[in-house]
C-alpha cells in the first residue's frame, strides 16, 4: 500500500499494471485489485487467475470493462493462450516479430465484430545495465518497426501503441528516455503509413522494490526513475504539439510492489565450524526453493537471526559477527545462499531461525522439486491496520 501511494504521488499519469509473475499470491492480487491496480499477465494461467481467482467481489470476469485493466504482455504466445485471452475479453497484447503477427491475425479473424485485438509493438531497449536484461530475447529494434507495421496493416490488425521493458532491476534511468525517443519514431512511422493514430505507451517494468541496494548499490531509486519518466513523457507529448491526441500510459511494475512484502523464515538444521572463527549453516530452504533469485535474479540475501531481530537496538553491539556461509538442503554444490567472503552474522546454533527480508519478488513462485524437496512454504499473512484506518466504510 505504501508503494501504491508512492506511485500515485510520483507517477500519477502512468497506470500501474502489476506483473503477476513476480508474485501471484492471491492476497497480494486482491489487495492491488481493491486499490485499483491493473494486471500484466504473461500466460493463460495468470489471465485465468485474475479473471476468476480473486473472489466473487474482485474477479475481473465479473466486472464490466475490467479487462481494459489487463495486458497480455508476452511477445511470443502459444496460439491456444491467445484464443483463451481473446475469448475472455483480454484483447490487448504485444508482438515483436512477423510470425507473431500472422498468429495473431488468425485469432483476430475469428473474433466477433465488436471484439478485436489491440496490439502494442514491443521494442528492444538499452538494458545493458539492468540486473536482468530482456532485449536479447524480446523486442524489435526501432529501425525495423516500420516493416512490422506494414505487415500489421496488410493483415488488418489494430496497432494501438508501443511497449518496451528496460530490464528487471533498472541500472540506468536514462534507458527510459531513450525508449521514449524510439517510441516517437515508431508513432511517426505508423502515421506515415496512414495507420490509425496510436495512443498507448507501455513503459514496462524495471522499478526497484526497495532502495536498500539488495541488487546493486548504484541502482537508481524509484523517485529518480519516476522523475526521468515524467520528464520523458512531457518531452514525448511535446513532439505532437500540433495534433490533438490523448495518450494513455501504462507500466508493468512487479518487484516494485511485492519485494518488501515478504520475509522468509528458515530453520538451521546443520552447522560446521560454529566454534571457530567462521561458520557454515545449512537451512531448510535454498536456491531450488525460495532462494532461486540468488541464481536467476542476482539477489544478495541478508540473514538475520530471529534472536537478533527481537533484541533492542542497545543490545545489538554485543553480538560478535563472524564470516558465515549459508547453504540450502539439497546435495548440489550450487545450492548456496550466502558466501563467507561477503556475509557476516552472529554465531548461530542448530534449530535457530534465520529471517530474510525483501523476499517477495521472484522467489518461491519460481521454485521446483529437486532432490526430494518440494519447497512448498507455509504462508502467514499479516496486515498492519493501524497505519491505514479508513473513514470509508467500503475501504480495505
Q: Based on the fold, state whether residues 163 and 216 are members of the same structural domain.
A: yes
Distance CA 352, CA 51 (A): 42
Query: Which of 209, 229, 259 is the C-terminal boundary of a domain?
Result: 259
Q: Based on the fold, state whether residues 119 and 217 are members of the same structural domain.
A: yes
3-state secondary structure 46-93: HHHHHHHCCCCCCCHHHCCCHHHHEEECCCCCCHHHHHHHHHCCCCEE
Q: Based on the fold, state whether residues 150 and 268 are members of the same structural domain.
A: no
Assess if residue 171 is contained within a domain: yes
Q: Based on the fold, state whether residues 73 and 137 are members of the same structural domain.
A: yes
Q: Residue 346, by phi and psi: left (phi above 0), alpha (psi -120 to 50) or beta? A: beta
Q: Based on the fold, state whether residues 232 and 275 are members of the same structural domain.
A: no
Per the structure, the complete domain to which residue 268 belongs is given by 262-366
Among candidate residues 170, 331, 338, 382, the one labeled active-site is 331
Q: Give the model's confidence band at 126: pLDDT under 50 very low, under 70 low, under 90 confident, else very high.
A: low
Distance CA 173, CA 225 (A): 5
Residue 244 is predicted with a pLDDT of 76
DSSP letter at 260?
G
Can you state the angle between helices 79-87 and 44-52, rounded to 10 degrees? 20
Q: Based on the fold, state whether residues 230 and 269 are members of the same structural domain.
A: no
Distance CA 109, CA 386 (A): 53
Residue 195 above 60 pLDDT? Answer: yes
Number of domains in the chain: 2
Q: Give the model's confidence band at 312: pLDDT under 50 very low, under 70 low, under 90 confident, else very high.
A: low
Distance CA 199, CA 227 (A): 22
Q: What is the CATH number of the domain that holds 161?
A: 3.20.20.10
The values of phi and psi at residue 17, to 5°, are: -115, 100
pLDDT digits (tens, 9 = 90+) for 63-90: 878 889 999 999 889 999 999 999 999 9
Assess if residue 378 is contained within a domain: no
Q: Cα-Cα-Cα-Cα dihedral of 345, 346, 349, 355, to 10°?
A: -50
Q: Based on the fold, state whether residues 242 and 278 are members of the same structural domain.
A: no
Active site residue 331: yes
pLDDT digits (tens, 9 = 90+) for 162-183: 999 886 554 577 788 888 999 9
Amino acid at each position: 500500500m505504501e508503494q501504491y501511494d508512492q506511485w500515485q504521488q510520483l507517477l500519477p499519469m502512468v497506470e500501474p499494471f502489476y506483473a503477476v509473475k513476480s508474485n501471484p499470491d492471491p492476497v497480494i492480487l486482491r489487495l492491488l485489485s481493491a486499490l485499483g491496480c491493473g494486471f500484466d499477465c504473461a500466460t493463460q494461467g495468470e489471465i485465468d487467475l485474475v479473471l476468476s481467482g480473486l473472489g466473487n467481489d474482485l474477479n475481473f470476469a465479473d466486472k464490466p470493462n475490467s479487462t481494459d485493466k489487463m495486458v497480455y504482455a508476452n511477445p511470443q504466445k502459444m496460439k491456444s493462450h491467445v484464443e483463451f485471452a481473446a475469448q475472455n475479453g483480454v484483447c490487448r497484447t504485444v508482438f515483436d516479430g512477423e510470425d507473431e503477427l500472422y498468429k495473431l491475425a488468425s485469432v483476430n479473424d475469428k473474433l466477433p465484430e465488436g471484439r478485436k485485438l489491440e496490439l502494442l509493438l514491443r521494442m528492444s531497449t538499452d538494458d545493458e545495465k539492468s540486473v536482468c536484461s530482456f532485449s536479447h530475447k524480446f523486442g524489435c529494434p526501432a529501425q525495423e518497426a516500420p516493416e512490422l507495421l506494414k505487415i500489421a496493416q496488410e493483415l488488418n490488425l489494430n496497432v494501438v501503441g508501443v511497449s518496451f521493458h528496460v530490464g528487471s532491476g533498472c541500472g540506468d534511468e536514462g534507458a527510459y528516455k531513450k525508449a521514449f525517443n524510439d517510441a516517437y519514431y515508431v508513432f511517426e512511422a505508423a502515421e506515415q503509413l496512414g495507420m490509425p493514430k496510436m495512443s498507448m505507451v507501455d513503459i514496462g517494468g524495471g522499478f526497484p522494490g526497495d532502495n536498500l541496494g539488495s541488487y546493486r548499490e548504484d541502482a537508481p531509486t524509484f523517485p529518480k526513475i519516476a522523475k526521468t519518466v515524467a520528464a520523458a513523457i512531457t518531452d514525448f507529448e511535446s513532439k505532437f504539439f500540433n495534433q490533438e491526441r490523448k495518450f494513455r500510459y501504462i507500466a508493468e511494475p512487479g518487484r516494485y510492489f511485492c519485494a518488501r512484502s515478504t520475509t522468509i523464515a528458515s530453520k538451521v538444521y546443520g552447522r560446521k565450524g560454529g566454534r571457530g572463527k567462521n561458520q557454515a549453516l545449512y537451512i531448510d530452504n535454498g536456491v531450488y526453493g525460495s532462494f532461486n533469485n540468488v541464481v536467476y535474479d542476482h539477489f544478495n540475501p541478508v540473514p538475520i537471526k530471529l534472536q537478533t531481530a527481537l533484541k533492542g537496538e542497545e543490545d545489538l553491539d554485543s553480538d560478535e559477527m563472524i564470516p558465515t556461509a549459508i547453504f540450502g538442503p539439497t546435495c548440489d554444490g550450487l545450492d548456496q545462499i550466502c558466501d563467507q567472503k561477503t556475509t557476516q552474522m552472529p554465531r548461530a546454533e542448530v534449530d535457530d531461525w534465520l529471517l530474510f527480508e525483501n523476499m517477495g519478488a521472484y522467489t518461491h513462485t519460481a521454485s521446483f522439486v529437486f532432490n526430494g524437496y518440494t519447497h512448498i512454504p507455509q504462508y502467514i499473512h499479516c496486515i498492519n491496520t493501524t497505519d491505514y484506518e479508513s473513514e470509508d466504510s467500503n475501504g480495505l
